[in-house]
């Protein structure tokens, strides 16, 4: 059996940042298992720019952002196994993984960081009626065909879902000479970043049809066209509003789901809203010594925040490995109410630490001129005015250590929107 202090599952931005941070903190034997051919994760197919504005203060492409971390990993003695799939994690922290060279490996780990990322919601999950021809694919799959394999997924495209990948692919397909006929969004607002709506749709005159969905797919072999319909306040298609759009491709960008099959198998408690693990401020799960970060924990819109979160997890794992972990006296829970869909971390370990705790959250709808409020036992401990809050943009607030000192066991910290 192989032995490591830390095994990081996933070599994308989260996995690399966590491993590097753990190394920096003094962890000796670290292994990253990556299922793809190279480190970098999904960034490798994100050839557009817009990465790194927060973290590096400059605008990089996905592969460039990844390369900075790959270079750092290469400078260290962190072991990397690519084309390596982790099949299982046992309750006593043994990682079962396979690849062509090493065959089936059993790797014993003191701590594990889960950084498997997320996957796209497929067609079936939203049950679009009609035929089942070629040419229906998720935006990420289309992105891989175009940017990694060098093939054009379609010539006349409709995109369902205005999440960031959908928006980015609208521009990418247009630049490749395809005609993007519309981007449809079920909700009355886009789920993507404002800058992407401007730079990917408006700059190319691609219509964004809010409150619209695809109600039928037509085509025997390859998609021949789709019908879109306007939806009412309950998101149900309104009869009589059907519009047929001839096209050969329907791209879906209808949500991302954290890939937590391994976490579930090892008995890690998951948050029903995020689809990721329930963690404390060090990103430690309910299974001692197993940490989670990045899109496997909750779906981020900016990789810069993934990096920061992964560093937190890497440091947490390092403290655990090096015996520096402070065992908490108790934990308090965070909870989003009144418009706040979720909060990560879901609990805060009260362990005498003097560090502030950053809480990340998302709202459930668009708010303008609203306020974010944090309360404990009815007392407001934080309030801030916000000009705009949108589901597509993750927010964060910092809880000061002195506020944490006031907590007692069983307390809840509520985050809510006012206005």
List contacts with another protein (CB under 8 A): 35, 83, 85, 87, 96, 98-104, 119-120, 122-125, 127, 129-134, 137-138, 140-141, 144-146, 148-155, 176-177, 215-216, 220-222, 237, 248-249, 261, 264
What is the smallest separation between the CB atom of 245 and another protein, expressed in angstroms?
17
What is the smallest separation between the CB atom of 248 and another protein, expressed in angstroms?
7
Cα(37)–Cα(19) distance, integer angstroms: 18
Question: Of 124 and 233, which has the nearer Cβ to another protein?
Answer: 124
Q: Which of 294, 290, 297 is nearest to 325 (CA)?
A: 290
Question: Of 88 and 326, which has the nearer Cβ to another protein?
Answer: 88
Q: Facing residues of 386 across strands?
A: 370
Question: Of 104 and 379, which has the nearer Cβ to another protein?
Answer: 104
Q: Which of 206, 193, 186 is nearest to 254 (CA)?
A: 186
What is the smallest separation between the CB atom of 225 and another protein, expressed in angstroms?
13
What is the smallest separation between the CB atom of 97 and another protein, expressed in angstroms?
10
Question: Of 100 and 387, which has the nearer Cβ to another protein?
Answer: 100
- For residue 62, with 0-12 CB atoms within 10 Å meaning exposed, 13-18 middle and 19 or more buried, which class applies? buried
Report DSSP letters for 166-231, one per residue.
HHHHHHHHHHTT-EEEEEEESSSS-SS-HHHIIIIIGGGT--EEETEEEEEEE-SSB--EEEEEEB
Question: Of 150 and 240, which has the nearer Cβ to another protein?
Answer: 150
What is the smallest separation between the CB atom of 224 and another protein, expressed in angstroms?
10
Question: Of 143 and 349, which has the nearer Cβ to another protein?
Answer: 143
Between strands 395-399 and 412-418, the pairing is unpaired
Cα(125)–Cα(29) distance, integer angstroms: 41
Contact in structure between 291 and 283 (CB atoms under 8 Å)? yes
Q: Which of 216, 114, 112 is nearest to 160 (CA)?
A: 216
What is the smallest separation between the CB atom of 239 and another protein, expressed in angstroms?
11
54 HSE (CA, 13 A, CB side): 8
What is the smallest separation between the CB atom of 329 and another protein, expressed in angstroms?
36
Question: Of 256 and 343, which has the nearer Cβ to another protein?
Answer: 256
- For residue 284, with 0-12 CB atoms within 10 Å meaning exposed, 13-18 middle and 19 or more buried, which class applies? buried
What is the smallest separation between the CB atom of 177 and another protein, expressed in angstroms?
7
Question: Of 257 and 397, which has the nearer Cβ to another protein?
Answer: 257
Cα(86)–Cα(334) distance, integer angstroms: 32
Query: Cβ–Cβ contacts within 10 Å for residue 358, how many?
Result: 16
Alpha-carbon dihedral sign for residues 164, 168, 173, 177: positive
Question: Of 249 and 349, which has the nearer Cβ to another protein?
Answer: 249
Query: Cβ–Cβ contacts within 10 Å for residue 351, how many?
Result: 17
Q: 164 is written with which tokens? A: 């960031």
Cα(227)–Cα(213) distance, integer angstroms: 9
What is the smallest separation between the CB atom of 261 and another protein, expressed in angstroms?
8
Query: Cβ–Cβ contacts within 10 Å for residue 308, how many?
Result: 18
Question: Of 66 and 415, which has the nearer Cβ to another protein?
Answer: 66
Q: 387 is written with which tokens? A: 């000009």
| 68-99 as b/e: b if 16+ CB within 10 A | bbbebbeeeebebbeebebeebeeebbbebeb
What is the smallest separation between the CB atom of 289 and another protein, expressed in angstroms?
23
What is the smallest separation between the CB atom of 92 and another protein, expressed in angstroms?
15
């Amino acid at each position: 059996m192989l032995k490591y202090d830390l095994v990081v599952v996933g070599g994308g931005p989260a996995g690399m940042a966590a491993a590097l941070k753990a190394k920096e903190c003094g962890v000796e034997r670290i292994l990253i298992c990556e299922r793809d051919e190279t480190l970098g994760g999904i960034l490798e197919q994100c050839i557009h720019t817009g990465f790194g504005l927060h973290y590096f203060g400059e605008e990089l492409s996905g592969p460039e952002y990844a390369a900075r971390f790959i270079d750092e990993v290469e400078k260290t003695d962190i072991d990397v196994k690519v084309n390596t799939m982790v099949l299982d994690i046992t309750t006593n922290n043994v990682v079962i993984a396979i690849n062509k060279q090493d065959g089936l490996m059993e790797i014993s780990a003191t701590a594990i960081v889960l950084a498997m990322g997320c996957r796209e919601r497929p067609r079936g999950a939203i049950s679009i009626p009609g035929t089942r021809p070629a040419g229906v694919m998720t935006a990420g799959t289309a992105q891989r065909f175009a940017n990694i394999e060098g093939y054009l997924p379609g010539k006349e495209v409709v995109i369902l879902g205005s999440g960031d990948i959908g928006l980015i692919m609208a521009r990418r397909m247009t630049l490749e000479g395809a005609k993007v006929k519309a981007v449809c969004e079920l909700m009355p607002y886009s789920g993507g970043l404002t800058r992407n709506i401007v730079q990917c749709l408006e700059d190319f005159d691609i219509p964004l049809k809010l409150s619209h969905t695809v109600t039928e797919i037509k085509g025997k072999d390859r998609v021949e066209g789709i019908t879109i319909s306007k939806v009412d306040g309950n998101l149900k298609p309104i009869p009589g509003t059907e519009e047929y759009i001839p096209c050969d491709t329907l791209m879906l960008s209808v949500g991302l789901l954290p890939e937590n099959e391994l976490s579930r198998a090892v008995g890690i408690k998951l948050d029903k809203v995020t689809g990721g693990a329930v963690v404390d401020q060090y990103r430690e799960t309910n299974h001692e010594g197993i940490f989670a970060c990045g899109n496997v924990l909750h779906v981020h819109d900016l990789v810069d925040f993934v990096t920061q979160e992964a560093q937190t997890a890497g440091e947490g794992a390092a403290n655990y490995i090096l015996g520096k972990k402070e065992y908490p006296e108790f934990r308090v829970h965070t909870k989003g109410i009144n418009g706040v869909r979720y909060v990560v971390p879901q609990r805060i370990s009260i362990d005498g630490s003097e560090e502030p705790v950053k809480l990340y959250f998302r709202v459930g709808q668009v708010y303008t001129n609203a306020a974010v409020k944090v309360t404990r036992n009815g007392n407001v401990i934080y309030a801030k005015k916000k000009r705009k809050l949108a589901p597509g943009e993750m927010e964060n607030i910092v809880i000061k250590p002195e506020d944490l000192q006031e907590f007692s066991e069983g307390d809840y910290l509520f985050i809510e929107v006012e206005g």
